[in-house]
């Protein structure tokens, strides 16, 4: 799945692969083979669910990975920041 004009460039750098796409349940799962992060075995899922209020949605983004040469806590904090920033940018795109 490519999003935006930078999709092909990002795909080449990260070697990101779409593993699962489920239109009915509104999620996709992707892996990154050459992550610029200190991890291996990176697998992530993004899913859109109905929100609790009318005309709203809830986006969940989660991932699994194996840290390399850093602590679990450092890696979790890194991805928490990445996911938070990404979700904020997504929300802002819909508010603009």
**pLDDT digits 0-9 by tens, 10-35:** 455 567 888 999 999 999 999 998 88
Domain of 90 in residue numbering reads as 7-95
71-80: b or e for each residue (b if 16 or more CB lie within 10 Å)?
A: eeeebeebbe
Q: Tell me what the pLDDT averaged over the chain comes to.
A: 86
pLDDT digits (tens, 9 = 90+) for 36-48: 889 999 999 999 9
Global pTM reads 0.78
For residues 39-67, average pLDDT: 94
What is the number of structural domains in the chain? 1
CATH code of the domain covering residue 25: 3.30.530.20
Query: Does residue 61 register a pLDDT over 70?
Result: yes
Q: Is residue 31 included in any domain, yes or no?
A: yes
Q: Is residue 1 included in any domain, yes or no?
A: no
Q: Is residue 61 included in any domain, yes or no?
A: yes
Instruction: Find where tokens 């859109």 sit.
Output: 48
Nearest C-alpha neighbor of 27 from the set 6, 7, 42, 44: 44
């Amino acid at each position: 799945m490519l999003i935006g004009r930078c999709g092909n460039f990002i795909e080449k750098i990260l070697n990101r692969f779409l593993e699962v796409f489920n239109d009915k349940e509104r999620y996709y799962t992707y892996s990154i083979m050459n992550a610029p992060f200190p991890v291996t075995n990176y697998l992530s899922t993004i899913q859109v669910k109905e929100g609790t209020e009318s005309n709203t949605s809830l986006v969940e983004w989660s991932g699994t990975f194996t840290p390399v040469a850093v602590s679990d806590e450092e890696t979790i904090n890194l991805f928490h920041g990445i996911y938070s920033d990404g979700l904020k940018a997504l929300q802002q795109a819909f508010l603009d």
